[in-house]
């Protein structure tokens, strides 16, 4: 079992809670006497340990909220970009979702492909297959289209 500071702090906090419970029920008079002498420093250590656990929890929660807001913003940007596309452009994006692939080959001279490239909805891989060039759909766009397929129709 790998112990980092966070996990060690949580284990120590649980130990202190159990120690306080033993004192409250007066299970061992000798232990109760020793703890009563160092009660204040022990209580301060417990409070610091609890504060560190609470800080870690709030930090993770804040990071989770930031990530969620970033994804909402990215989805809104993708939705706005998709709503402004023509039927031809939506057709080319639908090819990725219908075939369930991230990469497809298209004619690089096609103006629809150039528009999708300029809007960064697809990425040029600089791989050629005859006269066609390989393109990859942006992963966030692909995920959005998989969860909201009706956007293209």
Q: What is the pLDDT of residues 98-111, one digit of tens each?
A: 888 888 888 888 89
Q: SS3 breakdown of the chain: % helix, strand, coil, rounded to 5?
A: 70, 10, 20
Name 152's Cβ contacts closer than 8 Å, sequence gap at least 6. 82, 90, 91, 93, 94, 97, 145
Q: Cβ distance 136 to 113 under 8 Å?
A: no
Mean pLDDT in residue range 15-30: 86
Mean pLDDT in residue range 136-147: 88
Domain extent listing, the chain: 5-74, 85-152
Q: Determine if the pTM surpasses 0.85.
A: no
Return the CATH fold of 85-152: Arc Repressor Mutant, subunit A (1.10.10)
Q: Cβ distance 119 to 105 under 8 Å?
A: no
DSSP label of 121 = S
- DSSP string spanning 19-78? HHHHHHTT--HHHHHHHHHTHHHHHHHHHHHHHHHHHHHHHHHHHHHHHHHHHHHHHHHH
Q: State phi, psi for 28 to the nearest 5 degrees.
A: -130, 110
Q: What is the pLDDT of residues 36-71, one digit of tens each?
A: 888 889 889 999 999 999 999 999 999 999 999 988
Distance CA 92, CA 104 (A): 10
């Amino acid at each position: 079992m790998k112990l980092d500071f966070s996990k060690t702090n949580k284990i120590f906090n649980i130990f202190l809670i159990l120690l306080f419970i033993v004192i409250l029920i007066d299970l061992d008079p000798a232990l109760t006497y020793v703890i009563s002498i160092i009660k204040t420093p022990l209580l301060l250590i417990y409070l610091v340990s609890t504060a560190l656990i609470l800080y870690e929890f709030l930090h993770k929660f804040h990071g989770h909220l930031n990530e969620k807001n970033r994804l909402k913003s990215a989805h809104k940007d993708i939705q706005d970009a998709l709503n402004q596309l023509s039927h031809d452009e939506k057709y080319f994006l639908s090819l990725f979702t219908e075939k369930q692939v991230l990469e497809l080959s298209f004619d690089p001279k096609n103006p629809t492909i150039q528009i999708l490239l300029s809007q960064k909805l697809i990425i040029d891989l600089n791989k050629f297959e005859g006269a066609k060039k390989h393109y990859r759909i942006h992963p966030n766009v692909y995920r959005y289209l998989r969860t909201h397929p009706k956007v293209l129709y």
